[in-house]
Amino acid sequence: MTPADPVARSAPERWRDGEVGPGARDIPEETAVALVHDATTTAVMMATPADLADFAIGFSLTEGVVAAVGEIRDVEVVWTPLGAEARVWLQAERGAALTARRRRLAGPTGCGLCGVDSLAEAVRAPARVGEGLSVTYAQVQAALAALQPAQALGGRTRAVHAAGWWTPAQGLVAVREDVGRHNALDKLVGALARSGAPGAEGLLVLTSRISVEMVQKAAVLGAQVLVAISAPTALAVRTAEAAGMTLIGVARDDGFEVFTRPDRVAP
């Protein structure tokens, strides 16, 4: 099977100013993606069919399947009539640890990795991010301004999320997009891990709301500053505080709100 095009052409009936006529619009594709580690499926996600190797690596890191990209031996994306398999092959020691984890969690519940530890996993303590980064108001605004024109898929469809990495020295380093906000961030984490870009030296910029999972994944990246156009949940704020992360929300052209660690932000 060949990879799916991430965009499809649609012909909706268009209503404007009380009149009806033919329309045309690009809309994003959504496909099932199985994340497979050492020939065993870990999760199946609905995702935009693009940057799936990045997705597999980022998911493996942010969900704790691996602790570092070096524990991944190889990644291959295989297309089937039902969707895609992102096959991740682990180094021997990490593969053995994952096998032991699966056996431990399967137990009497019979539901694999979502079994007895699922509640604890949902509210797991975040990684602690580093120190040393400070940003100015102008830099936060520059990161926001750089993300919008870089959203190629979003510009065509107006229906996907984006996650970007911006540094004061380089500007916008990388952007990844997906119909799922978590997937977009996982793809970005994977792309940065493959390139060797450190998470401590830049700003993570999101087009989505800030839920606790987004903070947890950002902490794995090592992001000291997270900026998003929407507001955070209360649990996301508490998790960012526990991670030592600066959480900036409701970011617009005319300003933003700093929910945690405002000491990193200067006028």
- Per-residue pLDDT band at 165 (split at 50, 70, 90): very high
* Among candidate residues 7, 61, 58, the one with its CA nearest the CA of residue 31: 7
Query: pTM of this prediction?
Result: 0.92
pLDDT score for 109: 39
The answer as to whether 128 is a domain residue is: no
Number of domains in the chain: 2
Out of 111, 122, 125, 145, the active site residue is 111
Domain with 46 in it: 31-122
pLDDT in tens, 199-249: 778 999 999 999 999 999 999 999 999 999 999 999 999 999 999 999 999
Mark whether 139 and 261 lie in a shared domain: yes
The answer as to whether 129 is a domain residue is: no
Mark whether 183 and 68 lie in a shared domain: no
Give catalytic status of residue 111 as yes or no.
yes
The answer as to whether 9 is a domain residue is: no
H helix count then E strand count, the chain? 8, 16
The answer as to whether 7 is a domain residue is: no
Last residue of a domain, one of 83, 101, 122: 122
Inter-CA distances, 201 with 33, 45, 139, 142, 167, Å: 31, 30, 13, 15, 6
Mark whether 157 and 182 lie in a shared domain: yes
pLDDT of 17 strictly over 60: yes
Mark whether 83 and 185 lie in a shared domain: no
Share of the chain above pLDDT 70, in %: 93
pLDDT score for 118: 59
pLDDT score for 108: 41
